[in-house]
């Protein structure tokens, strides 16, 4: 009923006022999983892009998610790309966005993360929260941006995602190429090791990649992730392909990243490939087109240890989270699994 960005802003405003109902927080034990020393009550998470400034973590935790990923944050605040930059493709259950990392910057973001940590400790709240970091549009040194952000938010989140795969920041995806990625990961791992040594806390580093990769790039990313001991891969960001298949022709030609149902197949295909290329040695987070428990289960069987969604909320509302968890538990039991972790990669021959 509302314009796209107005609807998003209203959702954030309502969450801030805590007037939206909480959803089920009592998950079946079959859905619990442990990764990186973190206990996820269920594997269904919120993808980055919804709570860019980490403003509404506490109310989001009460919506039944197993984890929340905030951001993408950049060192300096930026307004993003000119409007309109967000488009619903209703017949496709899809979204095209070219937001451009609009956010309030690292200082405000870090303060919001501190507020969450204080509330969590004071109220005894349980919630796993990730921080998604990216470079500024006009940055002359991408590596410096990521290193600065790592230092700025260290210890304020449960894991950190290195976003090098949004199609809406010029040259960002170039960081996925072998030489640039090696330089970036080497700098970040060195920084992480020093931060861990200084305060005794190791925080998982995840890498978020694009679905539009050549086979050689997939191999390079897998090899570098293994060589640098990256803790996880998030697969995947939005796609710049798949436009010829869209039913909603009025917006099909818009520049930006496509998410929602059309992203399910290409992102799951990439998930399978990366599970094989990494030999199942790196935990994978499956993202893209998840609207149902069946969708989540397919990604899990194709190698995902965790799942993220966002576009489904736009078309189904927060209630879709409980529906997905209920159906996922049914499918796991039907196939004789006692825990979701047992189903990871079952469709893949290594």
Which residues carry out catalysis? 166
Angle at the Cα of 140 from the Cα atoms of 139 and 141, rounded to 5 degrees: 95
Say how far apart CA 206 and CA 160 lie, in whole Å.
Answer: 6
Say how far apart CA 1 and CA 31 lie, in whole Å.
Answer: 35
Beta bridge mates, 232 = 206
Burial 43-70 (b: 16+ CB within 10 A, else e): bbbbbbbbbbbbbbbbbbbbbbbbbbbb
Contacts of 159 (CB under 8 A, 6+ apart): 36, 38, 128, 130, 131, 203, 204, 205, 206, 231, 232
| Listed residue (25, 28, 26, 23) closest to 330, CA to CA | 28
* Residue 125: burial class (beta carbons within 10 Å; 0-12, 13-18, 19+): middle
């Amino acid at each position: 009923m509302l314009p796209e960005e107005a609807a998003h802003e209203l959702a954030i405003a309502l969450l801030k006022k805590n007037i939206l109902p909480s959803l089920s927080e009592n998950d079946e034990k079959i859905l619990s999983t442990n990764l990186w020393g973190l206990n996820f009550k269920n594997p269904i998470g919120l993808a980055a892009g919804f709570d860019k400034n980490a403003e509404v973590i506490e109310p989001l935790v009460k919506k039944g998610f197993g984890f929340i990923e905030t951001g993408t944050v950049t060192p300096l605040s930026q307004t993003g790309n000119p409007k309109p930059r967000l488009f619903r493709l209703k017949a496709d259950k899809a979204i095209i966005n070219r937001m451009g990392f609009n956010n309030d910057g690292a200082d405000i973001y870090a303060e919001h993360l501190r507020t969450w940590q204080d509330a969590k400790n004071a109220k005894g709240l349980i919630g796993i929260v990730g921080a998604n970091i990216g470079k500024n549009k006009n940055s002359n040194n991408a590596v410096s941006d990521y290193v600065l952000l790592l230092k700025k938010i260290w210890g304020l989140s449960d894991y950190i995602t290195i976003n090098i795969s949004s199609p809406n920041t010029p040259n960002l995806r170039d960081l996925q190429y072998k030489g640039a990625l090696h330089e970036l990961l080497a700098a970040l791992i060195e920084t992480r090791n020093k931060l861990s040594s200084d305060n005794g806390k190791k925080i998982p580093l995840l890498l978020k990649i694009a679905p539009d990769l050549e086979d050689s790039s997939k191999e390079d990313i897998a090899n570098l992730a293994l060589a640098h001991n990256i803790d996880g891969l998030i697969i995947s960001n939005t796609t710049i392909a798949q436009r010829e298949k869209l039913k909603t022709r009025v917006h099909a030609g818009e520049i930006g990243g496509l998410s929602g149902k059309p992203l399910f197949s290409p992102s799951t295909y990439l998930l399978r490939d990366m599970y094989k290329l990494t030999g199942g040695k790196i935990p994978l987070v499956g993202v893209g087109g998840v609207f149902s428990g069946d969708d989540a289960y397919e990604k899990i069987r194709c190698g995902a240890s965790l799942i993220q969604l966002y576009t489904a909320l736009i078309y189904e509302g927060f209630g879709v989270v409980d529906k997905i968890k209920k159906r996922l538990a049914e499918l796991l039991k039907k196939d004789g699994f006692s825990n979701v972790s047992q189903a990871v990669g079952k469709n893949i021959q290594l």
